[in-house]
Structure formats: C-alpha cells, structure tokens
A and B are shown apart, each in its own frame.
Chain A
Amino acid sequence: MSEKDHAALAKAFNEDEPRVDWHDQTLWWVRQKRDRAARQVPDWEALRDTASAIKENVLSRLSGYLEQFEAAARENGVQVHWAADAAEHNAIVLSILRGHGIDRMVKSKSMLTEECGLNEFLQESGVEVVDTDLGERVVQLAGEPPSHIVLPCIHKKKEEIGEIFHEHLGTPAGNADPQFLTHAARLHLREKFLTRRAALTGVNFAVAETGEFVVCTNEGNADMGAHLADVHIASMGIEKLVPLRRHLGVFLRLLTRSATGQPVTTYSSHFRRPRPGQEIHIVLVDNGRSVHLGRKDFRNSLKCIRCGACFNTCPVYRRSGGHSYHTAVAGPIGSILSPNLDREKYGDLPFASTLCGSCSNVCPVKIDIHVQLYKWRQEIVQAGHAPAGKKAAMQAMNWVLSKPGIYQTAGRTGRWVMAHVPSAVNNKFNLWSLHRDLPAPPRESFGEWYRKNKANQ
C-alpha cells in the first residue's frame, strides 16, 4: 500500500468541512444536471443497454477489431504504433518528437497519458509539454495531478485559480473573475498553439470499420492543437474501439449527458487522414488491459468510456476528493481499474466505498462497479494485502459468530460492560465513538426476550 492510503488522505480532506460541503454540492449539481439531461432522452435505459452490448462485443473480439482498425488507419495514411506498456508508449512518443527535432508540444486531455506518466517522462527527457485543456492547464501550473477525469481542477475554487494565474501568467493579484481568467488563459494558450509543431490528443472513440478516431472536447483545444501542428500524435487505450461508425451515435449521445449533463460535447472531431504535409500517429496502448481482459470478474470494466458519472454520484468521492485516490483515474471506476495495475499499491481503493451501488446505476455502459469492488476486496485479502490487525479482528469476529453459545455470552458480557464501564468502549481507541455515540445497551437481547416470553408457547 502507498505511504498514505485513501482513508488517511480522505481524513485530511475532511479537516476543512466547509470545503467538503462545497466539493460535495458542486459535484452533486453535476449529477443533477446529468439526471435532467438523461430524462430528456426517450429510452435512456435502452440506450445504456445498447452501448453496453456494443462494448461487450468489442471486448469479446478485441484483437480482430484492433487489426481491422490498424489496417484501415494505415490505408488512410496514418502511422500506427503498438505499446505494450506505459514505458513503451512514452518512448514511442519521444522518438516521434525527436525524429522531427521537436522539443515543445501541446497536449489536449488524455487520461491515458496521465496513467503513463508521460508529462514527467517528457520533461525529464527535455521536452516541454503544455496541457491545453483549461482545467488541465490550471492543475499543471499548480504542480498537481487532475482530481477528476472530466473536471480536472474541480477541487480548486476560482480564487485559488486567480492566485495561480497571478503567479504564472501575470494576471492582477486578487482577480478571480472567471471570464477574465479564461480570457487570460486563451491568450496564453494561443501563443502555444501557434508556435508548437507537435500536438498530442487523446482518443474517445476509434472506429474499426473506417480507421478514424473521435476526440471530444468542450474547448476545441484538441482541434487547435492538431490542426496547427505538423505532427499529430493520438494516444489511445486498446479498449477505445467501436466496430462501426454508426455506433458513434449511441456513444456520443451518452458520453456528455452522463459526464456534465450537456446534450453533446461542443466539439466531437473526427480525424481520419493527415492533411497534406502533416503526419498522424496513433499509439495503441495495452498497459495491463489485455491482462484485465483475461480476468472474468473484472474484464467488463474495460467498457468504460471515461465520462466520470460514477465520480459525480459517488458519496465517498464527493467527500474525499480525487487526490485521496492517489491514482490517475480516481473515483469508483478508478478503484476497480487501478488494482489491476498494482494490487498492493491500490489495494486500499476497493475499500473506499460503502457499496451503495449508485455508480453502477449511472454508468452509461452498465459496468457493475460496486459488484467488482466487492470482488476486488476478496482478491486483495486473499493475496495477503489485508492489514494484520484487520485480519485478526475478522477472524475473531467470525469465530464468535460461528458459535451461538459463545456469541450469546459475548453479547451479554459486551452489553454489561457498555452499561457499567462505558469508558471501556467510549474512548479514543474506538473509532466509532470519535464523532458518534454508541447505542444504549438494552438489558436483554431479542434472543433472551424470546426465550422468556415466546419460546414455551
């Protein structure tokens, strides 16, 4: 497990309760927008079923679709690269840039590059990367990772963004007017777009039939980057495929309604072939996905289209913040994807949930997220990653609960102690009673009452 686990990081986040309230209400507002947008679509639930079925089909024939996609993309004049893991992906991107003598690049939103640690790698290799999504740029300037896959700086208040811009972009101190700050960012980024010869984008959907890919943004920053650059690199996870172009109609209707409650992204741009003089490179990244595909209980999490709806609805995420998940993809979906990458390091994440099930209900591709959280818990414990104290407690509890006589005696004794020596249970070692009272112990249990009053009737 990492140095600080989710519980410790969430506890730190909760030290500022008004901020937790603000974070919770902001994301709940997005969840409500999602509800209103979904309600506008007749047969929303049928649309989810359809999307899920298409993705199940993709996962069941992934290698075939990948080869079909590769052939079609090459036919279109696109250069296709295969990366087995994060390191290979990063090396491929670097070699493309070096091949053109490029040491400065713009990049639009791509959670895959976060997963691969591309920015750090390129910076260490002497390549400057500017994130051009506004929220991404804010966290990049702040030296932080995104806290949400769709709303990367949702944890920052506008006043804090004003301070960051004052420090890095020279805006007047104390100015936190969103329109003013956005304008300042626009001027700052425009210079980057005009002067960078390479642009990296993510991929929301890739079409096996045609070899094209679709990039969805609200700011048009992927388009600005790709259209102005000589070299367009698109990084995509191998699960991003849909078989046919017409399937995009299903996913584009679901994606942004689920994500932010908008009917569709402002820009849903299709890239098919390079314009004369331009190069397009697609890097197909595995990085654990094919291993995940082989795990029967967990494979369907690869259906994920990264809308973030499960973040916004999750009562734990809203009250613990994205950074408490200490991984690129946070929230409920991150809690079932990350243990595949490193079961020990991310072994705390499947436990950062009450298993309430809201995530599975909002998921546009119907991933059974809360069921997988439960299954990951079993895997992680059986792999020996449970804390020793917890293991001992569970074994003791299980022993008592397996033996009715011992259970009854333990219950009677426990209630007596609670009633007569309350300090034995109401103390700082009992995490229950830090902020909650224990129930008043009754004189007799239901079992005892039943024996006295009912058993002989």
Chain B
Amino acid sequence: MKVGLFIPCYIDQFYPQVGIATLGLLEKLGCEVTYPPQQTCCGQPMANSGFEHITRGCNDLFIRNFSSFDYVVAPSGSCVLHVKEHLHGGTAGAAAAIRARIFELVEFLTDVLQVDRLDAEFPHRVGLHQSCHGQRGLRLAQMSELMAPPFSKPERLLRLVRGLELVPLDRADECCGFGGTFCVTEEAVSVKMGKDRVADHVRHGAEFITAADMSCLMHLEGILHRQQSPVKVRHIAEILNHHLS
C-alpha cells in the first residue's frame, strides 16, 4: 500500500517530531510511505480567511505532489477536511481523486488499517481534546449536540496504549478557540476559549493534552507555557508511537 505523507506546513516547521512519529507509526504498521519533498500547505489559512479564490497555486502544488498514491495521510484533521471539501484544479478528476483518498491519521488507522493492537506505552493521565474539524467535519467521534450513539476513533486508539489513563472532561467537545487566523483577528475571545479549555483538562488532573490536530495543541501549549504550567501537549501520533526507553 503506497501512502503519500502530507505534513502540514506548521507541523513541518514547528513540530517535526509529530511528522517523525506519524511516519514511524505508518511504517511500523506495514505501509510503504513516501514524503513528497516539494509540499507546503493545503491552502486553508487563506481560504478560511475568505481568500479561497487566490489558493490555486497551493491547490495545483498539492495535486502535483499527491496524485500518485493509493492513500494520502496527514496528522491533521483540519487540513484533511479542507482538502476534502475544497481541493480543486489540476487535470480532470485529479482533485476529486485526492479528495476521496486523503485520510486523517486516526481514521486511517481505525478505518483503513483497522488497527486493533498497538505496541505503545504511555503511563500518564491524558486529556483528549476533540478538535472540531476532525470531530464535526470528519466525524472522528460522536458530537455532543446530536442524540446518537457515542463513538470515538481517537479514544479507541488511545485505549490500546499501555498505561495510559484518559481523564474525563466537563465539556467533551468544546472548541479551543484556535480557529486559524481567528487566533489573531479575534485574539481576546480566542485566548479566553483556550484558557477555558486548558482549565478543564488541568482541573481533571491531566498531565498531557492530546489531539489529532497540532494547531489546537499549539494554541493550548502557548497558553500553558505562559501560565508556566507543568501540563504538556502531545500529538496523538506521538503517543501511539511511544515506547518507554
């Protein structure tokens, strides 16, 4: 199975360890993974700010980089959702083919690879942040607003990790307030949302906050740092690929 690895721009630049963990995890599970070196960004930061019409360069580049794989996998629900909903351009059918073959890492593990065992260990109390685009957009987990049976793909994977204890939260799926450029254009509300999310995890004794989206975690990490909190963030790939040395 040929997998094209998409490492979103901000993960590439600020969180290389998340890319390394994602690659390691996929290879461990038997995928033949390639990272096209000329990749940059899915175009979401511009599009969510109302500038989708100028993102053709990003779209074309994305299609050139990722047209030749069975699957495209990325450790970010938000970027994957954007590609699924808005990737256009290229030769006929090229964008549609990618839109159908791109997966967020968690759903790739549960739905395509159907992982039911993991050789991972993380003996810590962990709070799971349900990132909105992964949850409500890609349906990685049931949404608290709907009157429907519960399920959670990230939780299912985290429960396979030895020693990991998931902490309950008062608000299971409230947005952290990152929101792309919202984090600076609506700085006051964004920060307040982030502080409230952090407080929920801290109140319940989390040592780590994890999520399938690093952008939420970057925002929450920024707040935790400023508060000089001992609580740390870890992308879910880092936990699923974690061994005690």
Interface residues, chain A, with chain B CB atoms under 8 Å away: 6-7, 10-11, 13-14, 17, 20, 24, 28, 35, 38-39, 41, 44-45, 313, 315-316, 319-320, 351-358, 360-362, 374, 377-378, 380-382, 386, 390-391, 394-395, 397-399, 401-404, 407, 411, 414-415, 431-439, 441-442, 444-451, 454-455
Contact = CB atoms under 8 A, between A and B. Distances in A.
18 contacts: A14-B189, A20-B192, A28-B171, A315-B175, A315-B193, A351-B186, A354-B190, A361-B143, A398-B55, A404-B40, A434-B187, A436-B225, A439-B222, A445-B12, A446-B11, A447-B12, A450-B37, A454-B23
B198 to A, nearest CB: 11
B15 interface: yes
B187 A431 contact: yes
A313 B57 CA distance: 37
B16 interface: yes
A93 B89 CA distance: 53
A313 B145 contact: yes
Nearest first, the 6 closest Cβ-Cβ pairs linking A and B are A402-B57, A436-B222, A354-B179, A381-B50, A446-B19, A361-B145
A42 B187 CA distance: 41
Contacts of A378: 50, 52-53
Nearest to A347: B50
B119 to A, nearest CB: 21
Interface in B166-221: 171, 173-175, 177-194, 196, 218-219, 221
* Centre residue among A7, A315, A403, A431 by max chain B CB count within 10 A: A315
Contacts of B225: 436-437
Interface string B58-72: 100100000000000
B175 A356 contact: yes
A449 B178 CA distance: 27
Contact of B183 (A41, A374, A432): A432
Given A7-B187, A11-B188, 13 more contacts: A6-B186, A10-B189, A39-B147, A351-B185, A361-B145, A377-B48, A381-B51, A395-B54, A404-B37, A415-B13, A439-B14, A449-B19, A454-B35
Contact of A355 (B48, B51, B185): B48
Contacts of A414: 13
A319 B136 contact: no
A405 B196 CA distance: 39
A394 B185 CA distance: 13
B88 to A, nearest CB: 13
Contact of A451 (B37, B52, B222): B37
A391 B230 CA distance: 39
A354 B225 CA distance: 23
Main secondary structure of the interface of B (DSSP, over half): helix
Give the interface size bracket for B toward A: 35 or more
B230 to A, nearest CB: 15
Contacts of B48: 355, 374, 377
A445 B61 contact: no
Q: Looking at A17, A407, A433, A434, which has the most chain B CB atoms within 10 Å of its CB?
A: A407
Contacts of B175: 315, 354, 356, 358
Contacts of A407: 9, 40-41
B132 A353 contact: no
B90 interface: no
A399 B38 CA distance: 15
B152 interface: no
B46 interface: yes
Contacts of A397: 45-46
Contacts of A455: 37
B39 interface: yes
Contacts of A24: 196
B147 A315 contact: no
A380 to B, nearest CB: 6
A444 B19 CA distance: 12
